[in-house]
């Protein structure tokens, strides 16, 4: 049956002005029409009419980089530089990671992302089949990849098994409508050039995305140069890895020459401002990247280094830090970060049929409640999305024409069960840490 959604405001795409008192028409999983109420409703008299009232319907947000199971580590190590945080706290506890922790940590993060209006995200972690299992049950979309390292993983064991698992996932999910697989070497300081080259070969064989952390900190660049005599970008370029399928995360420490190389090769970059700020990694040269024409996404990073999965907050931060850093409020605009968080992010992850609410696109959307005091007055709905909205103010979420959350209630997750499981996992983690 056809559905017609109407609301006070509809944002069809970041390039278009929000439409007041509009409608979108959904057939199965796609949008087939849009326009004013007085035209659309008479045109589809047999459709189910859903009037959402004083709300803003907008394209589902895209969290273009995260590690969703890491919600179970939120708050476990704070106020530390990246390398200390990672090597002295996160890697040791991850060496004893359990797959059931990953499953329930994913469920916890999915709750948070749904309530932040996210319909699609990109994940890199361990025991990734457990992540995918949770996502299949809940109904969101993902570009997922098992994190690959030179050292043994608690998930797959030796690296060769990691390559096998990645190829198995690529084959098993080749035709899945909501799940795509990336090849995910962790970084150039945890993966040798030989390992990265093998990853590139797999990606080429399956025409898959390469998802890698790159040039996040000055320490990373020093460590890689000490090991291999070259900077990370130079190594990746010589390996043939800077190309249209590259999704490079962070890129805080890029030179102008490296930015131009990334643009020339049509490589993609995902900006994670809050995690970079919290870990003291620095501020990425976002305005230079935009000026160079690089296709950019926005991500929260993991909920252990952010410490949340709120894309509204991420958009606000991305805007504000560039304006303050450059002492110029015009260097980046709300439309820029909204593009990064919707259609650009979706394109980067290989989901080019989502990110806009236009005919032919998938019906992946979120609904913001404008009745909250912080959402009034509604002169500028795009500014409300970027500067005012917060996780928890999304009342409804739809993926492929199916409601995932309706009237603030998530349909496919028992929230109380997830919270109880995570409380038990916390006790198990504390016990493991006490045995260090």
Tens-place pLDDT, residues 378-428: 999 999 999 999 999 999 999 999 999 999 999 999 999 999 999 999 999
Cβ-based neighbour number of residue 425 at 10 Å: 20
Contact predicate 22/6, CB 8 Å? yes
CA neighbor of 224 nearest in space, from 185, 215, 89, 197: 215
Number of H helices, E strands in the chain: 17, 18
Which residues on neighbouring strands pair with residue 35, listed in sequence order?
23
Buried residues in 163-185 as b, exposed as e (16+ CB within 10 A): bebbbebbeebeeeebbbbbbbb
Contact predicate 247/183, CB 8 Å? no
For 393, phi then psi, to 5°, come to -95, 0
Contact predicate 350/331, CB 8 Å? no
CA neighbor of 301 nearest in space, from 316, 320, 283, 314: 314
Write down the pLDDT at residue 90.
87
Residue-by-residue DSSP string for 405-430: EETTEESS--HHHHHHHHHHHHHHHH
- Could you tell me the CA-to-CA distances from 225 to 82, 237, 251, 276 in Å, in that order? 18, 14, 16, 21
Helix orientation angle between 159-172 and 128-138, rounded to the nearest 10 degrees: 20
Contact predicate 24/357, CB 8 Å? yes
In whole angstroms, give the CA distance from residue 334 to residue 194. Answer: 41
Contact predicate 339/382, CB 8 Å? no
Cβ-based neighbour number of residue 369 at 10 Å: 19
Cβ-based neighbour number of residue 245 at 10 Å: 20
Residue-by-residue DSSP string for 146-157: EEE-SS-BTTTB
Helix orientation angle between 99-114 and 128-138, rounded to the nearest 10 degrees: 40
Contact predicate 30/362, CB 8 Å? yes
Write down the pLDDT at residue 436.
63
Q: Containing H/E element for 249? A: strand 246-250
Which residues on neighbouring strands pair with residue 403, listed in sequence order?
398
CA dihedral angle for residue 371, residue 374, residue 377, residue 382, rounded to 10 degrees: -100
In whole angstroms, give the CA distance from residue 271 to residue 283. Answer: 9
In whole angstroms, give the CA distance from residue 347 to residue 81. Answer: 32
What are the residue ranges in the chain where pLDDT is below 50? none
């Amino acid at each position: 049956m056809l559905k017609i959604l109407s609301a006070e405001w509809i944002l069809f795409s970041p390039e278009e002005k929000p439409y007041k008192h509009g409608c979108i028409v959904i057939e199965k999983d796609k949008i087939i029409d849009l326009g004013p109420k007085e035209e659309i409703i008479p045109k589809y008299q047999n459709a189910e009419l859903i009037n959402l009232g004083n709300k803003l319907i907008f394209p589902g947000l895209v969290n273009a980089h995260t590690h969703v199971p890491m919600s179970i580590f939120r708050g476990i190590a704070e106020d530390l530089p990246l390398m200390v945080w990672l090597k002295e706290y996160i890697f040791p506890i991850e060496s004893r990671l359990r797959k059931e922790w990953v499953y329930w940590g994913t469920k916890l993060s999915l709750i948070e992302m749904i309530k932040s209006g996210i319909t699609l995200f990109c994940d890199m972690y361990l025991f990734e089949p457990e992540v995918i299992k949770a996502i299949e049950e809940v109904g969101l979309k993902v570009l997922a990849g098992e994190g690959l390292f030179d050292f043994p993983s608690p998930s797959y064991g030796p690296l060769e098994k990691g390559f096998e698992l990645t190829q198995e996932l690529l084959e098993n999910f080749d035709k899945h409508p909501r799940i795509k697989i990336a090849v995910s070497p962790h970084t150039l300081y945890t993966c040798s050039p030989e390992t990265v080259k093998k990853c590139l070969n797999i990606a080429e064989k399956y025409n898959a995305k390469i998802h890698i952390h790159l040039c996040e900190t000055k320490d990373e660049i020093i460590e890689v140069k000490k090991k291999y005599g070259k900077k990370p970008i130079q190594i990746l370029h010589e390996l043939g890895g800077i190309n249209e399928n590259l999704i490079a995360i962070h890129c805080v420490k890029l030179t102008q020459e490296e930015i131009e190389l990334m643009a020339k090769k049509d490589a993609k970059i995902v900006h994670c401002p809050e995690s970079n700020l919290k870990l003291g990694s620095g501020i990425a040269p976002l305005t230079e990247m935009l000026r160079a024409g690089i296709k950019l996404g926005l991500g929260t990073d993991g909920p252990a280094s952010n410490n949340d999965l709120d894309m509204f907050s991420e958009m606000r931060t991305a805007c504000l830090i560039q304006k303050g850093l450059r002492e110029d409020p015009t260097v980046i605009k709300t439309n820029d970060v909204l593009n990064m968080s919707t259609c650009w992010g979706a394109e980067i992850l290989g989901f080019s049929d989502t990110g806009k609410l236009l005919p032919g696109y998938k019906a992946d959307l979120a609904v913001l409640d404008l009745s909250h005091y912080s959402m009034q007055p509604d002169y500028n709905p795009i500014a409300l999305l970027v500067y005012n909205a917060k996780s928890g103010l999304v009342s409804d979420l739809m993926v492929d024409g199916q409601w995932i959350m309706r009237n603030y209630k998530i349909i496919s997750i028992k929230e109380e069960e997830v919270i109880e499981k995570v409380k038990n996992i916390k006790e198990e983690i504390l016990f493991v840490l006490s045995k260090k």
